[in-house]
Amino acid sequence: MSRTIHLALHPYGVGGPGQHGLWKDPRVAKNASIDIDYYIRLAQAAEHALFDALFIVDSQFINATYPAHYLNRLEPLTLLSAVATHTRHIGLVGTASSTYNSPFNLARRFASLDHISGGRAGWNVVTSFDTGTSRNFGLDEHLDYTTRYGRALEFVQVARGLWDSYEDDAFPADVARNVFLDPAKLHELHHVGEHFKVAGPLNLSRSPQGQPVIFQAGVSEEGRDLAAQVAEGIYAPGGTLQQAQEYYTDIKKRTAAYGRDPDHIKIFIHGGPVVAATDEAARRREREIFEEDNDFDRNLALLGRSFGAYDFSVHDLDGPFPDVAHLAEKSGRTGAAKLIEQARAENLTLRQVAANANQFRQSPFVGAPQTVADTIEQWFDAGTFDGINLAFRTEDELDYFIDGVVPILQKRGLFRTEYASDTLRGNLGLPIPANRHAPERQLVND
């Protein structure tokens, strides 16, 4: 079977980082980020177009400078559970922190979503970017990188162990024999590790896809290594074609080095297509979008997010970039390091760093439908992604992509013309994980 492209949808709501002006667009409802009907409409449109998944991001810390969508939005698993009852095929991927949750509760919540949706749940594992989150959970400081990623690895291992609490045929529900549960097929976990001590079992059976699909978005060395060990889907940064190729190759090599099949990890790059009737019209619209969002005060505040929500406005904008590297050690270390390196190498002022961080950068996926489809095919053939995580500013722009670009991809055999499965795993071409206790039982029986 030839490779085909996977598509996911990432709703913007009223506008997150880099879409500071979106809430002002008259086509965007001012309550979009808390309107469940908005998400249901998007999910149904994406499902009608045969997309693989709806992806919901999250964070658990804000201050007044954060983007509009961050200030007032629904909790992902609650949101996706509602969407699940209005859809049948599209995957439902929610972001949840391994730093600020407990394995038992989170494993149960995702397993519940998996059952509610009939096997369409996915968990985007994050370690929490915002250092201020710690204060919302009774901690004085955010955990360091090493601890957060060590905890994340163990967290996923514990969750997977809990999802295997019941073997697939643990519930005969045989009235004649008065047997609802076969107790031999219920397994306690008895996990004792560096970060967690969890007895189990989980009080929920396995879903039609066995376990929720694990996603991750690692960019740092720790993140890439975690992804290579546990992820089945990755949200990659994208960048230039060469950068996307390098990331794709690196993750696939790391995955193989851990003894995993590289085809069992699907890499989604970020894509914000701008599609119009002509290439020229699309490029004009792309530039207009940049100008709509180019608010210096907001950009300066967003710059601070990589440094633990630091307030850069207290400094002279035309003075040297402040020495704040230590503030990024537990926050956005990878992105912050690039900013600091450039500031030092080019002797940039704070104003210049903030401006450079938000320079106009042309997206590759901009143009008439044919042009956008051509570029997607070129990038796909060049080994840069398995799928694209698509973000559109308005519902009209999503519809334009669905009506204009998707049929071209389908005609070229690059995108499905019908769903292969009712589960997220099935549509991504991922195997159902065998219950870890079933092989043991087979050995005993043999």
Report the binding-site residues for FMN.
Answer: 58, 95, 149, 220
Nearest to 40 by CA among 27, 56, 24: 56
* Alpha-helical regions (H) of 12-93: 36-48, 68-71, 76-84
Query: Which residue ranges are tagged as binding site?
Result: 58, 95, 149, 220
Q: Which amino acid is located at 140 in the chain? A: D
Strand (E) or helix (H) holding 56: strand 53-56
Residues 277/405, Cβ–Cβ less than 8 Å: no
Give Cβ neighbours of residue 242 (< 8 Å, ≥ 6 apart): none
Query: At 179, phi and psi to the nearest 5?
Result: -125, 110
d(Cα 177, Cα 118) in Å, to the nearest integer? Answer: 29
Nearest to 69 by CA among 96, 32, 41: 32
Q: Where are the beta strands (DSSP E) in 347-386?
A: 366-367
Neighbouring CB atoms inside 10 A of 164's CB total 23
**HSE on the CB side for 132, CA within 13 Å?**
14
Cis peptide upstream of residue 208 (ω within 30 degrees of 0): no
